[in-house]
Chains A and B, each alone.
Chain A
């Protein structure tokens, strides 16, 4: 009974958020731009045809960079808009828990991005038509991409809960996501290694979205990579909840 109620509540929130996406031009703009960018990078920058390889490496390698800008745009309205319109007051006085709301909103965003990813299926068909790709690796990469998208989204949901301005939420989300992408690479490690202790530098470099995504792309879905993304999501949504509970007004 209790679980059923929870599911029904999460479902209600999800349904409303999905209606929110598809009821406005945002959804269509996002989908079109996402598909156009993915196609552009794959065919013109990675030179998909000239490579002569039957894999989607040149397709997936751009996902983190496209997500960096597009997912904060998907996430920015989740909470900032509720705050701006004052509807957060009704949402938080309904007989549902804050975690049901957070999960409902997050899952709606994730599902929406999932729709975007699913719409890239012509890539799979193309590569399948031209050659004989490793479908297992492609499937893994899609799964990895979806997990990484979830991590980006959770960052965006969290920053969206901080402010009533979508623009501010968007920019902060990009900065945090950029940090996560670059965590294992020179720009971030160089800054840190000057003063931070070695264990911290080490820990930060393990937090990179990119290195975990790369290992999934190779076609092995290591449990550790999945756990990594899921724990980022869990942590960010937890912070999201703490922020909402402590900054309910204004």
Chain B
């Protein structure tokens, strides 16, 4: 649905986006991840036609943004960063304006507006001027504008930025609900959001794509992925570490912290799928330490993120 081909943007001699290519299919939610100023917004602005690319192009449902810009834009719903809306208009008037621009008229326009107001929970504020609304509501109004015409492509630049945890949850739910028949790109720098919402993640740093994978597979790149963490009581930590290190399949072990009787240790496997958990358990049963918690680490996205973007 969305095909991005070698998109490049240079501002003067600074390259903001460098040869970025990817595709998003219908039913897929692509998370666009990266540090600030990595080129996320610039890429999205090029796809939506706000700024022209220096080189490369994007094809939206068969329409090249360079040669069939209007047809391409018709298929896109766009929520820009900071959700800009006209403060002097009421919610209904604003949506009416957007609906007219999107080519709806008469009964259909009214029906669209009603439907969108329902979907985005704007009923209570529909006759209020946007200037009087809180940040969360403004975000929702701008979001409403982006889904008003039920576009096959949805491009959301930090859709949950500045929202409280409940509102974040609501917006994520909305995005997930709509994902079945849309190709969605959303940018974020909240890792947890990407894990819960996206099917696939592209990490971008200094204008280049540095990773393109599912969140689960990205996590396996973490150094602690597959490691076994234990929280123990009493016993002899040093002795335990020494014994564990001799087990087959174990690459290393270390003590993370000691507090009185309590101590925490982590055991690293040689390979991700080495069956070390069972062996560690039997080692534990031989010693006198009491186990209060034990789990296999899934890997941490923030750590992966940091290691590939710096």
* Distance, CA A23 to CA B97, complexed state (A): 15
Which A residues lie within 8 Å of B22 (CB)? none
Q: Which residues between 1 and 55 of chain A lie within 8 Å of chain B, taking CB atoms?
A: 5, 8-9, 11-13, 15-16, 19-20, 23-24
Q: B84's contact among A11, A15, A89, A94, by CB below 8 Å, is which?
A: A89
B85 touches A87 (CB 8 A): yes
Number of interface residues of B (CB under 8 A): 30
B100 touches A11 (CB 8 A): yes
B101 touches A94 (CB 8 A): yes
A16 touches B84 (CB 8 A): no
* Distance, CA A239 to CA B22, complexed state (A): 36
A250 to chain B, nearest CB (A): 10
A86 touches B103 (CB 8 A): no
A218 within 8 A of B: no
If the complex has contacts A90-B145, A248-B51, are A20 and B101 also in contact, measured as CB distance less than 8 A? no
Which B residues lie within 8 Å of A92 (CB)? 49-50
B132 within 8 A of A: no
If the complex has contacts A12-B100, A90-B80, A90-B145, are A20 and B50 also in contact, measured as CB distance less than 8 A? no
B70 within 8 A of A: yes
Which B residues lie within 8 Å of A9 (CB)? 100-101
From A5, A11, A12, A15, residue with most partner B Cβ within 10 Å: A12
A16 touches B50 (CB 8 A): no
B87 touches A85 (CB 8 A): yes
A177 to chain B, nearest CB (A): 26
B76 within 8 A of A: yes
A130 to chain B, nearest CB (A): 42
* Distance, CA A16 to CA B88, complexed state (A): 10
* Distance, CA A20 to CA B90, complexed state (A): 11
B100 touches A85 (CB 8 A): no
If the complex has contacts A90-B78, A95-B73, are A16 and B105 also in contact, measured as CB distance less than 8 A? no
A132 within 8 A of B: no
Which A residues lie within 8 Å of B84 (CB)? 85-87, 89-90
B51 touches A249 (CB 8 A): yes
A175 within 8 A of B: no
Q: A86's contact among B70, B80, B98, B100, by CB below 8 Å, is which?
A: B80
Which B residues lie within 8 Å of A19 (CB)? 88-89, 93
* Distance, CA A232 to CA B70, complexed state (A): 29
A190 within 8 A of B: no
Which B residues lie within 8 Å of A176 (CB)? none
If the complex has contacts A86-B80, A89-B45, are A95 and B145 also in contact, measured as CB distance less than 8 A? no
From A19, A24, A90, residue with most partner B Cβ within 10 Å: A90
Which A residues lie within 8 Å of B98 (CB)? 94
Which A residues lie within 8 Å of B93 (CB)? 19
Minimum CB distance partner of B80 in chain A: A89
Q: B86's contact among A12, A85, A89, A93, by CB below 8 Å, is which?
A: A85
Which A residues lie within 8 Å of B49 (CB)? 92-93
Which A residues lie within 8 Å of B81 (CB)? 86
Minimum CB distance partner of A249 in chain B: B51
A94 touches B105 (CB 8 A): no
Minimum CB distance partner of B76 in chain A: A93
A18 to chain B, nearest CB (A): 11
A23 touches B101 (CB 8 A): no
B231 within 8 A of A: no
A16 touches B103 (CB 8 A): no
Which B residues lie within 8 Å of A5 (CB)? 103
Q: Which residues between 52 and 108 of chain A lie within 8 Å of chain B, taking CB atoms?
A: 85-87, 89-90, 92-97
B82 touches A93 (CB 8 A): no
Which A residues lie within 8 Å of B88 (CB)? 19-20, 23-24
Which B residues lie within 8 Å of A85 (CB)? 84, 86-87
In order of increasing CB-CB distance, the 10 nearest A-B pairs are A86-B84, A12-B100, A95-B73, A95-B74, A93-B48, A87-B84, A23-B88, A89-B80, A94-B101, A16-B97
What are 9 A-B residue pairs whose CB atoms fall within 8 Å in the complex? A9-B100, A11-B100, A13-B101, A20-B88, A87-B85, A89-B84, A90-B145, A93-B50, A94-B102
Additional 7 contacts, C-beta under 8 A, given A15-B100, A89-B80? A8-B103, A9-B100, A19-B93, A89-B50, A90-B84, A93-B48, A93-B49
